[in-house]
Amino acid sequence: MTTERAENPIDETHSREVVVANEQGLHARPADLVAREAQRWESRIEFIGKAQRVDGKSILDLLTLAAEEGTHLVIEATGPDACEALDAIGNLFDKKFASNDSNVMTHSEKTQQEKHGSGTSARINTVACEGVADGNTNS
């Protein structure tokens, strides 16, 4: 049995799924919040939505997702602080970008059920973060 292992642990990619839970969607203000948070981390941060992959550190890129309420997005982080970055960014989505109401949506309900058979991994480079439910893209 071969273990799949990135040669350089620094380059491991982690991912998680988030849901846009606020009524207005990922408009300018939340996109700004998300991009700023993403910029705080060294890791490369990418968002995967409707058949496109964009830079999570760019507000312009995030806005091109036009992610309405209920949209599922996958965030991929690659780098030494990938898990912390995913946590911090995922938290913004969980808190609905801390918008007006405090109705917090739990992200773990969503991702926990997405547990997959671990025989073959479709995403070679994706490894689990400790204590974090990694989101597997499965549409």
Partner 1 sequence: MKFSDFVSVEAIRPSVSADSKEGVIREMTQSLVDAEKIATSEMDSIVKAIMKREDLGSTGIGRGVAVPHTKHPSVSRLVGTVAISERGVDFESLDGEPVQLFFLLVSPPDRPGDHLRALENISRQLRDDAFCKMLKEAGGPQEVWRLLEDADAQSIAS
| Size of residue set near partner 1 by CB under 8 A | 19
Does 53 contact partner 1 by CB under 8 A? no
Contacts of 1 (CB under 8 A, 6+ apart): none
Does 95 contact partner 1 by CB under 8 A? no
Measured from the CB atom, is 63 or 88 closer to partner 1? Answer: 63
Among 10, 40, 53, 68, binds partner 1 (CB under 8 A): 68
C-alpha–C-alpha distance, residues 103 and 101, integer Å: 6
3-class SS shares of the chain: helix, strand, coil, % to 5 = 30, 20, 50
Which residues of the chain form contacts with partner 1 (CB under 8 A)? Answer: 23-29, 32, 36, 59-61, 63-69
